[in-house]
A and B are shown apart, each in its own frame.
Chain A
Amino acid sequence: MIILSQQLVLGFMIGGLYGLAAVGLSLIFGVLKVLNVAHGELIMLGGYGAYWLFALLGFDPFASLLLVVPLSLLLGLGLYCALFGFVVRTDEETRIKNSLLIGFGLALALHALAVKLWTADERGITTSYAGSVLIVGHLAIPLVRLASLAVAFALIAALHLLLTRWRWGRAIRATADDWQAALLTGIDVRRAYLLAFALGTGLAGAAGTLVSVGYSISPSIGLEWTLKALIVVVLAGLGSMFGTFVGGLFLGLAEAASAAVFGGPYREVVGLVIIFAVLVARPQGLFGAR
C-alpha cells in the first residue's frame, strides 16, 4: 500500500510536467490547427538551455526559467516567422500535411543538432538541494519535483490569466474558436497565431527546464514527450488550460498505478490504451467543449 501511494505521489508530480508540456502543444494545435510534432524537441532544447546555464554559468535551474522562457519565446517567434507562418496560410488539409512534413524535418534537425552540441549522453541538473525530501507519514516527496509541480501549476495559471485578461489573449481565444469570425471583428488573426505559437514554445522551454531538474534529458527524448503531450491534449480536449493540466496529472497517476499493477515496462502502454479508449468514447476529450 505504501509502495502504491509512493508511486502515485511520484506519478502526480511527473503528471504536472505532462500537463505543462501538453498546454503548449494544445495552445498551438487549438489556435493554429497545426500539429507541431517537434514540440518534444522544443522541450528538449529548453532542457539543454537550462543545463548549459547551470553547467557553464552556475545558474540555479529555477532561476534560469527567467532566461529560458523568454529565449524560448524568441525561438518560437523565429520558428513561426521562418516556417509555420507559411503553413497557416494554406487550407486545413494541406496545413496538417505540411505541418507534419515541417515538424518531422525540424525534429530531425534539432535532434541532430543536440547530439552535435551536447552528445547523446543523458544529462540532468544536480543542484546542491537535489536530494532533499519532504517526509509526510510514510511518504517521501522529493522537494525538487514538488517545486517543479508548483512552478508548472503557476505557469498554467499565468497562461490562463493571459488568455482571459489580456487583450491579445482574448484575441487568441477568439481565433481558436472561429478565425473567420475573429477576422471579421477586426482581430489581426496572423498576430494571434504568432503569439499563440510563441507562447506554446515558451511553455515548452519551461517544461524542458523542469524536466532537466527533476528528471533527465537526452537528444532523443523529443518523440517521447511529443507523444505524452499529444496524449494529454487528446485526453483533455481543446479549450481549457486547467483541463489540460488535470489531464496531465491524470496521465501521471494512471501510469504510476499501472506501473504498480502491471510492472514498470507497461506504464506507457496503459496511458496509450486510455487515450485510445477516451478518443473513441468521447472524440472531443474529457474536458473538451463541443
Chain B
Amino acid sequence: MHAERRWAAVILLAFAGLALVPLAAPRDDTLNLLFLILLSVTLAQSWNIIAGYAGQVNLGHAAFFGLGALVTRTLWIGGTPVLVAMAAGAGAAVAFALAIGAAAFRLRGAYFAIGTLALGEILRITTGNVLAEISTLPAAAIAGYRLTLRYYLALVLAALAVAVVAALATSRLGLGITALREDEDAAEASGVNALRLKLTALVTSTTLAGLAGGLFAYYHISYYPQHPFSPHWTFDALLVTYIGGVGTLHGPVLGAVFYVFLKEYLATRWVDLHLLIFGALFIGGGLLLPGGLVEAGGRLRRLLRSTLRR
C-alpha cells in the first residue's frame, strides 16, 4: 500500500521535472520521443487497471482508444474545443464499455480475452469500411500546430493516469477489484459484487484509454481513421505493462520508457531487423523476467548474493 504512494510521489515528481523540458528549447524529435513515452504510459496504465488490477485480460483495448480518437478528431476538426472533444471521446469509449461490459464479463479467462479481441476487430473493420479516407488536419490547423501544447497535454494525461491507478490501488474499491483477480468466487462469497466492480474497473480503464485516443487524434496530422483501432495498440499496452510489471504502479511507467526508447533506437539502428530483435527481446523477457522489470532489481540482488557467497 505505502509502496504505491511512494512510487506515485516519485513518478509525479519526475513528471514535474519533465514539465521543464520545453523551456530548454529542445529539438522536436526529443519532444516527440517524450510525447510517445507519455502516451504509452497513459495507455499502458489504462490497460493495467483492467488487466493488472482486475485480472481481466482485455484484448480489445484498441477499440476504446480508437473510439476516443474517432470522436475527438471528428468534433475537434468540426470546431469543438479540443478538451471538450476529448471529454466526448472518453464518453464514447465509456458508453461502449457499458454497452458491452455486462455481456463480455460473462466470459472468464482466455475466453474474455478472445471475446474482447473480436469486439475490437469488429470496430476496426467497420471503421475501415465506413471511413476509408485518410483524415488530415485542415491547412489552418497545420499552420498553427504547436508540439509543446501536445506535449503538456500528454504530460497531464500521464500524470492523471498514474494518480488514478495510485488512488485505485490504495482504496477500498481497489482492494475489492484485486480480490476479484485473486479468486472471483471467494471474493463474491465475502460480499464483493463482482460485476459492479469489474464494470467500475472497465469504466475507469476505458476513460483513460478514450482520453489517450483523443490525445492521439490531437497529435497526429494525418492518419487513417482505422489506425487507432488496430490491435497493435492493445498489444503495445499489453507489452509495455507486462515488460514493466503488471498490476504495479511503477511497472507500466518503467515499461513505457524501456519500450519506446528501445523501439525507436532499434528502428533507426537496425531498420529491417528491428522487429526481429524486438520480438526476441519479448520472448527473452517472458522467459527470464516473468514478473517484469519491477522484479529485475530483486532478481539481480539475489543473483549477486548467491554468486558472492560461492
Interface residues of A, Cβ cutoff 8 Å to B: 29, 33, 35, 83, 86-87, 90, 92-94, 96-98, 100-102, 104-113, 115-116, 223, 227, 230-231, 233-234, 265-266, 268-269, 272-273, 275-276, 279-280, 283
Contact = CB atoms under 8 A, between A and B. Distances in A.
A276 B113 contact: no
Nearest to B278: A108
B125 A269 contact: yes
A100 B242 contact: yes
A102 B286 contact: yes
A275 B121 CA distance: 12
Interface of B: 55, 57, 103-104, 106-111, 113-115, 117-119, 121-122, 125-126, 128-129, 231, 235, 238-239, 242-243, 246, 272-276, 278-283, 285-287, 290
Counting from the closest, the 7 A-B pairs by CB-CB distance are A105-B282, A109-B279, A108-B279, A112-B275, A101-B286, A112-B276, A105-B283
Nearest to A115: B272
B275 A111 contact: yes
25 contacts: A97-B57, A97-B246, A98-B287, A101-B238, A101-B286, A104-B235, A104-B279, A105-B281, A105-B282, A108-B279, A108-B282, A111-B279, A112-B274, A113-B276, A116-B276, A234-B111, A269-B125, A273-B122, A276-B103, A276-B119, A279-B115, A280-B103, A280-B104, A280-B106, A280-B107
A115 B274 CA distance: 12
A92 B183 CA distance: 12
A102 B238 contact: no
B279 A29 contact: no
Nearest to B59: A100
Q: Is the interface of B mostly helix, strand, loop or mixed?
A: helix
A108 B122 CA distance: 23
A105 to B, nearest CB: 3
B283 A106 contact: yes
Contact of A96 (B104, B109, B118): B109
Contacts of B278: 105, 108-109
Given A86-B287, A116-B273, A105 B242 contact: no
A75 to B, nearest CB: 15
Q: Is the interface of A mostly helix, strand, loop or mixed?
A: helix
Nearest to B105: A280
Contact of A98 (B103, B104, B128, B286): B286
A234 B114 contact: yes
Contacts of A111: 275, 279
A109 B121 contact: no
Contacts of B107: 279-280, 283
Given A109-B276, A109-B283, 6 more contacts: A102-B287, A104-B282, A105-B286, A109-B278, A230-B117, A279-B111
A98 B290 contact: yes
A268 B276 contact: no
Contacts of B115: 234, 275-276, 279-280
A233 B115 CA distance: 11
Contacts of A104: 235, 238-239, 279, 282
A240 B119 CA distance: 25
A97 B109 CA distance: 11
A268 B122 CA distance: 8
Contacts of B106: 279-280, 283
A111 B276 CA distance: 8
A265 B283 CA distance: 35
Contacts of A87: 286
A18 B103 CA distance: 26
B287 A35 contact: no
A234 B116 CA distance: 12
A35 B113 contact: yes
Contacts of A268: 121, 125
B74 to A, nearest CB: 21
Contacts of A113: 276
Contacts of B275: 108-109, 111-112
A92 B55 CA distance: 12
B124 to A, nearest CB: 9
A235 to B, nearest CB: 10
A97 B115 CA distance: 16
A72 B103 CA distance: 38
A237 B243 CA distance: 31
A93 B55 contact: yes
Nearest to A271: B118
Contact of A231 (B118, B246, B290): B118
Contacts of A98: 286-287, 290
A283 B279 contact: no
A78 B151 CA distance: 46
